[in-house]
Amino acid sequence: MLLKSNSKYLFFICLVYVQLNAQQNFEGYDFLQKTKEGTYYNLYAASIEFKFVENKLVYDYQILKEATYPTDKSNYTGPQTVTYSDYYTNNVQLKAKILHLSKSGHYHAKKINEFHSKTIASDGIFYEDQIQSYFLLPSFKPGDKSQLSFSCRGIDPLLTSRFIFNLEMPIEEVNYKIVIPDNVRMKFVFVGDSSGITHSIKKEKNQTVHVFNGHKRMPIDFEDQAEDIAYYTPHLFIIPISYTQAGKEISLAGTTANLFKYYNSQIKLIDASQNTELNRITDQLIQNLNDSLSKIKVIYDWVQKNIKYVAFEQGPNGFIPRPAEKILNNKYGDCKDKANLLINMLNHAKIPSYYTWVGTRSKPYSYDQLPSPHVDNHMITTLKLNGRWLFLDPTALALEYNFPSAFIQGKEALIRLSDSTYVLEKIPVVEANKNYKIDSLFLRIEQDNITGTGIQKNAGYFKENCNSTIINTNQSDNTLKKGIEIGNNKLSISNFKVQSNASQDLKFEYQLNLPNYLQNFNDELYLNLNLIKDLENKQIEIQKRKHDLTNEFRYELVQHIQLSLPPNKIIEQLPANKSYTNDQFSFEIKYARENNNIIYDKKITVNHLLLKKNDFKDWNDMLDNLNKAYLETILIKSK
């Protein structure tokens, strides 16, 4: 909602009571029963009041958490915890107490005097790391309560926190009060289902008060491989558009153009850097290279491997990239630091490159929907080569130049072209056929054993994952070898070798022995050649699953097996070929005879980043067919 300052509008909102949707559907959810089973919030309340202090727009924020403990055990720390930034807030105050329930039914308060704090780092973000303060819950009895109050002064109105209307536990009452001076224009962005949340508006002297209120709110349903809670939990953002002071309107956010100005002001604050040593390294890297692509590859690879990614910030460095030379000297930096270093090196090599802001896939917002710093949480480097944008993420350990990080695929990116110009571009989703794992097995039968050689090729994000393992693990060969599962747990692998080349697929080569795998009955051999059972028993429990299912990236899994039979054996029967085709997923298994060899080929394609609930049944149908195909055996007889 956009507040206007003309008198007719203000008179109108004095009379308005907006109910977003009066009733929330609680079918199948017994709030009273849930509150008897475990800890719940009696009250979760917050207020934010915008005001001017020394002609600067700031805000005072308060929050109150009151929880009841129906049993003498609690698995939740939320009621005793609050998270905030120590950079863009000050005057932080924390108070807490325990309310013990007496036999007479009255509560007796005991003040909490000791608080603990720790830094909460989030991978990939360029905002300052958050401070989490908490108190340890003392002994309590069923029926006792806890109260935690937090207050602070926020010094940057663009960085107000989102307010979430569902938490980790049931909430009996939730409310959010927002006080806005008449000379401030605000935009409210409500994301998610607003059912059961009311919105009232009241005009007071020189300000307007908004109150969002809800009752008997369900806890958040957390599930593995689900999208971030921002996709399915209702929440509210406050975006300051502008304010009027001394007859002049001062723009803040509310549009992508204003947001870019805000970001650009941070880039301008990067301390000057001579880059003497950095330029020397860059010149050395590209001294024998003539084409831009070769220079991009070698510089990008050097930054990935030589500058450690560390997501730990202090003060304003949470927003402003450090100077490139300082990052070089430190040998570490966060996403914005590494992006700045890479930009400096590429520009020195006469390859124009640009600061780029992007929200990871945990952010469901577009810049048009949410033109505020909440829209993104990551910084990368972007350049254009032969008319095509390349999105380089130097926080990755071993990502190829033409691959964006998996967690920003499909997201919108804001690219700074200059101090006054920018462009929005959508980051592509990498096709499944560029992310593949191919296993080729060349086998023979020795008595009841299967022996032979194996080769595995990894490309795309599979290759990146393997290379990251090699970089991070001292015993990389053993770690990668453990990931090879063929036949059964009796498998033994020897002579395992890894071949890693930046311009080729990452390859494993090895010898294998699979003892006692063949089934011998009345001079007949029964062989199941489905030695690698990808996606086996990965059906979704449709009745239990509440959310869509995420996938890190699209991919292909391919197996090619050539089994040579002994001279005295012949193929009596091969299974029929099997397949299943869908736009989002498919498989194909084929058998063939070639002289006295059995040829087996399998290909599984997973062509989605998000599997919607409506597609769960089709997914299970494919896996049912796949698992049945995995049971098929080959009959081999003696001549």
CATH number of the domain residue 117 falls in: 2.60.40.3140
Residue 482, in any domain of the structure: yes
Task: Give the three-state DSSP class for 34.
Answer: helix
Q: For residue 109, what are its two tokens? A: 């308060």
pLDDT at 315: 45
Residues 68, 200 within the same domain: yes
**Domain assignment present for 210:** yes
Of 392, 426, 460, the domain-final residue: 426
Average model confidence (pLDDT) across the chain = 89
> Considering the domain boundaries, does residue 136 fall inside one?
yes
Number of domains the chain is built from: 3
Do 222 and 310 lie in a common domain? no
497 in any annotated domain: yes
Asked whether the predicted pLDDT for residue 17 surpasses 80, the reply is no
Is residue 257 assigned to a domain? no
Q: Once rounded to an integer, what is the mean pLDDT over residues 88-117? A: 92
How far apart are the C-alpha atoms of 327 and 333, rounded to whole Å? 6
Write the pLDDT tens digit of every residue in 131-175. Answer: 889 999 988 899 999 999 999 999 999 999 899 999 999 999 999
Residue 122: per-residue pLDDT: 55
Indicate whether 9 pLDDT > 90. Answer: no
The C-alpha angle 605, 552, 163, rounded to 5 degrees, equals 140
Q: 405, 426, 447: which is the final residue of a domain?
A: 426
Mean pLDDT of 379-389: 96
Range of the domain at 96: 7-252
Confidence of residue 312 (pLDDT cuts 50, 70, 90): low
pLDDT mean over 290-305: 95
What is the percent of the chain with per-residue pLDDT over 70, rounded to a whole number? Answer: 92
225 and 274 co-located in one domain? no
- Tell me: pLDDT of 4 over 70: no
Q: Looking at the structure, tell me whether residues 230 and 321 fall in a common domain.
A: no
Asked if residue 2 belongs to a domain, the reply is no
Residue 1 lies in a domain: no
For position 316, what pLDDT does the model report? 45
Greatest mean pLDDT range, 14-28, 312-326, 578-592: 578-592
Question: Do residues 523 and 560 share a domain?
Answer: yes
pLDDT at 26: 40
Q: What is the CATH number of the domain that holds 328?
A: 3.10.620.30
Same domain, 413 and 276: yes
The pLDDT of residue 34 is above 60: yes
Mark which of 193, 218, 252 sits at the end of a domain.
Answer: 252
pLDDT at 24 over 60: no
Same domain as 231, residue 271: no
Same domain, 210 and 226: yes
Asked whether residue 237 falls in the same domain as residue 185, the answer is yes
Same domain, 245 and 276: no
418 lies in a domain?
A: yes
Confidence of residue 2 (pLDDT cuts 50, 70, 90): very low
Q: 104-113, pLDDT tens digit by residue?
A: 889 999 999 9
370 vs 376: CA distance, rounded Å: 10
Kindly state the tokens that stand for 311: 């997501």
Type and span of the H or E element at 589: strand 585-594
Helix (H) or strand (E) holding 292: helix 292-306
Residues 151 and 44 in one domain: yes
Both 57 and 96 in one domain: the answer is: yes
Buried b (16+ CB within 10 A) or exposed e, 46-83: bbbbbeeeeeebbbbbebbbbbbbbeeebebebbbebe
